[in-house]
Each structure stands twice: as structure tokens, then as C-alpha cells.
Structure 1
Amino acid sequence: MKNIVILISGRGSNMQAIVNAAIPNVRIAAVLSNSETAAGLAWAAEKGIATDSINHKNYDSRLAFDTAMMEKIDAYQPDLVVLAGFMRILTPEFCRHYQDRLINIHPSLLPSFTGLHTHERALAAGCRIAGCTIHFVTPELDCGPIIAQGVVPILDGDTADTVAARVLKVEHTLFPKAVADFAAGRLKIEGNRVINPNHEISADSRFCA
């Protein structure tokens, strides 16, 4: 049984997708947040999952906050830490502490559009596809080894909100699969590449036609 700790900052829809997937050999040990008012905490608590929060605004540096968060996370002895909408830039110390057992989902097809406002930037660039990427986290922002990617079309008349909604549906399918692959030992890191024999590109059917 693999212990999983999930970090969120808001409603945690990807966290909910992972919990609802009831992945074999996975125990959601805790859901933690940097906001005590994060809606996802109440949802997780209703499911009987341990929850906690610490406010990053109470710390005078990123490292001080990350150190406090690491102490809370480590109390659950996690095999994997999952960033499911955790809106914090992590320190190198945090990333190294959880090396090869810290994963994130990003709403773009990395390495394109790292950082924020991904859908607005994709539209501005005239992209015809968008998507999401699940990757291992390293100190370099949004540049860790890629585990899985999902693709959706960008349609005429799309806005950032409509693209985001389309991508989110793919996220909710792809993220639980990635956690399941990790728990089953199917992921192997070779340099900056993840070998995942179970992964197929998740794509919107309209794009595949």
C-alpha cells in the first residue's frame, strides 16, 4: 500500500478525481493546503481523509514555509506527494527532499507555456491544440521529467475559460492514471525521461478524428 499526500490551494478538483478513482494499493493519507479556507479540505474531510493547513503568509520566506510544510507532510510517511492545484513555487530544498516522489499537473503541453496564464498564452500564439502535462517536480519550474500528457483541440471562438474547461476534463482522467502507474511501479526515470509502458496519449475524440 502506497501512502499518498495531496497538496491543494483551492477546491481541489484533481484531488477529488484521484480520491474518487479508488486506485488499488493507494491510501490517501492526507490532504494539505496553504489555505485554511480551501474548499477541497472540507470535501476531503467529509470523505474521512485527514486534512490540515498552514498559511504561507505567516512565514517570512519560502524556505521557512516549505520547511514547515515538509514537517506536516513527512508525518504521514508519504511514498508520493501530489501537487493538485497547489499554487506555490517550491524551493529547491523542497524539491530535492521529495525527489522522484513529487508530481505535479500543469495545464499546458510542456515544455510550452510554463508558469501561469497558459490558456491565454496558447490562444494568443494561435495554437490549434492545448492540453495538460503530468511531470515529476524538479527545482527548475515546470521542467521535470514528463509522465503523461493529454491533448484537446482549440476551436474557433474559444476563450481561455472554454479551453480550460476542456483541458480539465482530460486532467481528471489522466491524473489518477499517473498516480496508479506510480503506485504499481510502472514509472522508470532515465535521465530527464520517464519510461511508462502503460501510457497512451489522452486526446479529445474531435482531435483524433
Structure 2
Amino acid sequence: MHYGYSENFILPFSHDEVVHGKKALIDKPVGDYEDKFKTLKLLMLYQMTHPGKKLNFMGNEIGQFIEWRYYEPVEWFLLDYEKHEDHRQFNGLLNRLYMQEKSLYEQDHDPAGFKWMDADNRDQSIYIYERKSTDESVTIVLNFTPVEYNDFRVGVETPGEYRVMFTTKEAPYRIKRYSYIKTEEIPMHGQDQSILLPIGALEGLVIKKKKAARKKK
């Protein structure tokens, strides 16, 4: 972040780190089989919502356990297994989210497009930041620990109603049934307003404010 806007960056989950015995990304996280997929989804959301253009190496999108080999194709047969097919669908929806939310790309190379809300939570290991376009924003909450919280308070810049619009927790990921949460005048993360919501273990959330209704002419 110290020099992130000095040039135009590509963010790779790179080929160099998943070859020659270094393991594929899905096999790097600690935990059981399910935790590995949760962590990889969380990592993918972090990459997709961070400033900079994205590059993923072949196999990441289906959670391939065998590291990339130039002499073999991607192991597409893994899609016959529920977790791998679910991971493929998740990545497709994550790409769609990126394309539909201009806050995630419009000001990629401008400091105005990114704001840390909480980068120093050592006790809970939860990162919070905003991505902004010129006229709207989304808030990203990333829980990098296997601890869940039923009531987690998140600071927001303006009063109103907010809802979770994307989660890494479980299908369908893009959440339309989540109800809106009204802000409270409780300071948090340097803001005068905040909302209270649950966040699961190894879960990432994308939160967005409800748009004001247009006045009829």
C-alpha cells in the first residue's frame, strides 16, 4: 500500500508460487478439507476487492490440489466433486460481482478508490476496508480466523440502511434475501455510524448501502 499508486499493478496468484513442490493454493491453508475451500474463497475475495487488476493461475478456479504442470491439462474431472464444482461457481459469481460493482475497479489507480477502515485488528484478525467509485462504495469485511461472531460491529461513513450483498460462506453467495440493517449512532472504526451483523469463521462479506429512492417528478 505504500507505493500502490505509483504505477499500474497486476495482482497475480502466481505460477511461481504453485510449482516445483510448493503446492497449489488450495493445499496451502491449514485446516481440514472444508476449511481449505473456505480460506481459498476468502483469499479470492481479498484479491478481487483489492486495488489492481487480477490474474489467477490455471486450476485456482476449481481448487485443483495438484500444482500446475505445463505438460498436463487442468484436472477438469474434479468438477464431478461437489466442493470443486461449488468453488467454480463461486469464482464465476465473484467475477460477475467485480464487473457489476464499479466501486471495485473505477478508481483502481487512484488513492480515492480505497480506504482502510480497520487494518490493525490483531486480536481478531479481521480486515475492513472500503472500495469507492465516484458516486458509490462497498465495504469489505474479511475474517481470517476460524472464529465466528454473532454480533460484529462495522463502522460506516454515512447513516442509512446497509445489507450483505455477497458472502464467501455458502451458496448462493450473492445474497438478495438478506434484510437491510439500519445504522446506529455508535462510533466504530473512526466513523460516527455503525451497523451490527454476524460474520462466520473464515468468511468474507461485501456490504453496500441502500440507494435512496428516486423522487417522482
What TM-score comes out, normalization by structure 2 length? 0.28
**Which protein is richer in helix relative to its size?**
1
Larger radius of gyration: 2
